[in-house]
């Protein structure tokens, strides 16, 4: 029995630090200037001006000494590289798929898949499409349909698996579709756009069986498969004694293929793959791959990248790592709740989402409350977060703002990059911001683009324009 590390109250980072990357300290006054120059858009702030970067968990993991060592073995042969075979063996062992196609990141796998199976008139169901997945489905001309269970859309609804597919609605959709109209069904584990919420094994099994009954291939969007596997171990009866690796293998065995961004649970900074069982689809995918990514034994990656992914996929299933990982996010959420922050509950695997519209109820939705909270977290403590709300999903029609359903601020935790004291600092800053919440100001748009405006949007404080007008 291996019990010790489970019985202590303090869960330590299950690693020590060999290489460090200094953080440049800044003052609040400096950050006020930086914010103004960035037009209050977090994407415009330089990384060197950030203390704690919680913008994303994608490609921001710290690699292990074993990964760096593996990279030195990287074989960059154009065809038949040794690194490819090591990568392929590791991914096949994990997923069980017959064919593994390396890509430079997740969306490249999506692009290849949907350029083959998508097209006008086709319908692709998913629990919730991630934005690049939806974009690739729609770019092909197909329709992307989200069918998460109703609890998955209610921020405060307590459910252990809020990422689950609504199987009843999926059954209806498959029953009403014409033969061949649904080229495949996807399930995103964990459900990123739904708050990083997990999907149960029971739901994976049911979705898989339903797809089989209708002759529709079943695919996983597997970016956070390891975090999902550990949620199953913690929350689903019958899985308590299984290892995360066993659970992950079972998840993959229910599916016919997957798209994967290794920038998440691959524990690397770049990479991905497409996993397939179908022979004919694989041939077609390799043809597109050669056009857009590279030869099938490197697919847009250097040999060293393939080595790092192979090693990362093994490390990410380590139980001590996953326990620390999910606990770090939960710890941050617990403290934010204690302070008074309204969150999406329970927290997901990779991020905490604050309901900024509820928190800053003195600001109307068209004044970007989530952007206001992002700005405050940066000004008070140099913490970068991301708005998932009005700037991202709101629309303008006839010059009028149509607010998004929710205004959330996401605090995504990079893998193995920050320690508990960093998280404690985030909590301290969040407490200061909370105390001043009624003084936070709203924003108005100065400049924006018609699509994906959140990346480049420029904002100003609602008051500042009034002040400017008075001075005119």
Ligand X SMILES: *Cc1c(COP(=O)(O)O)cnc(C)c1O
What's the closest the beta carbon of residue 362 comes to ligand X, in angstroms?
Answer: 33
Nearer to ligand X, 275 or 381 (CB): 275
What's the closest the beta carbon of residue 132 comes to ligand X, in angstroms?
Answer: 5
Residue 180 CA to residue 215 CA, distance in Å, equals 9
Nearer to ligand X, 67 or 192 (CB): 192
Which of 63, 223, 316, 343 binds ligand X (CB under 6 A)? It is: 223
Beta bridge partners of 408: 355, 388
Q: Does 263 bind ligand X (CB under 6 A)?
A: yes
Which of 64, 83, 105, 372 binds ligand X (CB under 6 A)? It is: 105
Nearer to ligand X, 221 or 305 (CB): 221
Site track for ligand X across 182-211, x = CB under 6 A: ------x---x-------------------
Which of 75, 90, 221, 379 binds ligand X (CB under 6 A)? It is: 221
What's the closest the beta carbon of residue 163 comes to ligand X, in angstroms?
Answer: 10
Site track for ligand X across 40-79, x = CB under 6 A: ------------------x---------------------
Nearer to ligand X, 188 or 255 (CB): 188
The piece of 22-30, 140-148, 261-269, 449-457 that touches ligand X (CB under 6 A) is: 261-269
Q: Does 162 bind ligand X (CB under 6 A)?
A: no
Q: Is-cis flag, bond preceding 146, omega within 30?
A: no
Which of 26, 132, 269, 456 binds ligand X (CB under 6 A)? It is: 132
Q: Is 116 exposed, middle or buried (0-12, 13-18, 19+ CB in 10 A)?
A: middle
Q: Does 328 bind ligand X (CB under 6 A)?
A: no
- The terminus-to-terminus CA distance of the chain in angstroms comes to 75
The widest CA-to-CA distance across the chain, in whole angstroms, is 75
The piece of 105-113, 143-151, 153-161, 380-388 that touches ligand X (CB under 6 A) is: 105-113
The piece of 73-81, 99-107, 197-205, 394-402 that touches ligand X (CB under 6 A) is: 99-107
Taking alpha carbons only, the member of 105, 110, 115, 124 closest to residue 165 is 124
Residue 412 CA to residue 410 CA, distance in Å, equals 6
Which of 266, 272, 275, 389 binds ligand X (CB under 6 A)? It is: 272
The piece of 126-134, 208-216, 313-321, 332-340 that touches ligand X (CB under 6 A) is: 126-134
What's the closest the beta carbon of residue 166 comes to ligand X, in angstroms?
Answer: 18
Sign of CA pseudo-dihedral 290, 296, 297, 303: positive
What's the closest the beta carbon of residue 227 comes to ligand X, in angstroms?
Answer: 11
Nearer to ligand X, 107 or 453 (CB): 107
Nearer to ligand X, 128 or 328 (CB): 128
What's the closest the beta carbon of residue 460 comes to ligand X, in angstroms?
Answer: 30
Could you give phi then psi for residue 97, rounded to 5 degrees?
Answer: -70, 150
Which of 126, 261, 297, 367 binds ligand X (CB under 6 A)? It is: 261
Which of 133, 207, 297, 372 binds ligand X (CB under 6 A)? It is: 133
In angstroms, the Cα distances linking 148 to 167, 191, 380 are: 9, 9, 36
The piece of 26-34, 130-138, 246-254, 329-337 that touches ligand X (CB under 6 A) is: 130-138
What's the closest the beta carbon of residue 223 comes to ligand X, in angstroms?
Answer: 4
What's the closest the beta carbon of residue 103 comes to ligand X, in angstroms?
Answer: 9
What's the closest the beta carbon of residue 445 comes to ligand X, in angstroms?
Answer: 26
Could you give phi then psi for residue 349, rounded to 5 degrees?
Answer: -85, -30
What's the closest the beta carbon of residue 271 comes to ligand X, in angstroms?
Answer: 8
Nearer to ligand X, 144 or 433 (CB): 144
Nearer to ligand X, 192 or 207 (CB): 192
277 Cβ neighbours under 8 A, 6+ residues apart: 97, 98, 99, 256, 257
Nearer to ligand X, 62 or 427 (CB): 62
Tell me which residues touch ligand X (CB under 6 A).
58, 105-107, 130, 132-133, 188, 192, 221, 223, 261, 263-264, 272
């Amino acid at each position: 029995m291996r019990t010790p590390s489970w019985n202590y109250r303090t869960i330590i980072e299950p690693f020590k630090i060999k290489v460090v990357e200094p953080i440049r300290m800044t003052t609040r006054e400096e950050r006020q200037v930086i914010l103004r120059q960035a037009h209050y858009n977090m994407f415009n702030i330089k990384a060197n001006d950030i203390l704690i970067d919680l913008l994303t968990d994608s490609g921001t993991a710290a690699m292990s000494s074993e990964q760096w060592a593996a990279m030195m073995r990287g074989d960059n042969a154009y065809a038949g590289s040794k690194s490819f075979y090591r990568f392929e063996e590791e991914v096949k062992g994990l997923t069980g798929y017959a064919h593994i196609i390396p890509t430079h990141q997740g969306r490249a796998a999506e692009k290849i898949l949907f350029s083959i199976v998508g097209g006008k008139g086709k319908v692709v169901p998913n629990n919730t499409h991630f934005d690049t997945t939806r974009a690739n489905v729609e770019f092909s001309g197909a329709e992307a349909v989200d069918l998460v269970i109703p609890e998955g859309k209610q921020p405060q609804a307590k459910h252990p698996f809020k990422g689950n597919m609504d199987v009843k609605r999926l059954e209806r959709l498959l029953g009403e579709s014409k033969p061949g109209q649904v080229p495949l069904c996807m399930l995103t584990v964990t459900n990123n756009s739904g708050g990083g919420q997990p999907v149960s094994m029971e739901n994976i099994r049911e979705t898989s069986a339903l797809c089989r009954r209708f002759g529709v291939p079943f695919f996983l969007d597997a970016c956070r498969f390891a975090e999902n596997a550990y949620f199953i171990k913690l929350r689903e009866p019958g899985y308590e004694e299984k290892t995360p690796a066993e659970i992950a293998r079972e998840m993959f065995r229910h599916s016919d293929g997957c798209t994967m961004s290794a920038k998440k649970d691959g524990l690397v900074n770049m990479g991905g793959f497409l996993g397939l069982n179908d022979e004919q689809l694989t041939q077609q995918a390799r043809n597109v791959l050669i056009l857009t990514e590279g030869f099938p034994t490197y697919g847009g990656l250097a040999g060293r990248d393939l080595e790092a992914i192979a090693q990362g996929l093994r490390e990410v299933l380590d139980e001590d790592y996953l326990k620390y990982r999910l606990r770090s996010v939960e710890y941050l959420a617990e403290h934010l709740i204690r302070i008074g922050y309204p969150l999406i509950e329970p927290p997901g695997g990779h991020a905490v989402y604050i309901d900024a519209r509820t928190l800053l109820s003195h600001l109307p939705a068209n004044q970007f409350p989530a952007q206001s909270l992002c700005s405050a977290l940066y000004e008070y403590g140099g913490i970068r977060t991301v708005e998932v709300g009005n700037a991202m999903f709101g629309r303008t029609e006839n010059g009028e703002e149509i607010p998004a359903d929710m205004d959330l601020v996401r605090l995504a935790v990079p893998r193995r990059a920050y320690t508990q004291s960093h998280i404690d600092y985030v909590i301290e800053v969040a407490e200061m911001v909370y105390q001043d919440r009624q003084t936070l100001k709203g924003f108005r748009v100065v400049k924006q683009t018609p699509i994906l405006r959140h990346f480049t949007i420029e904002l100003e404080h609602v008051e500042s324009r009034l002040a400017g007008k008075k001075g005119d």
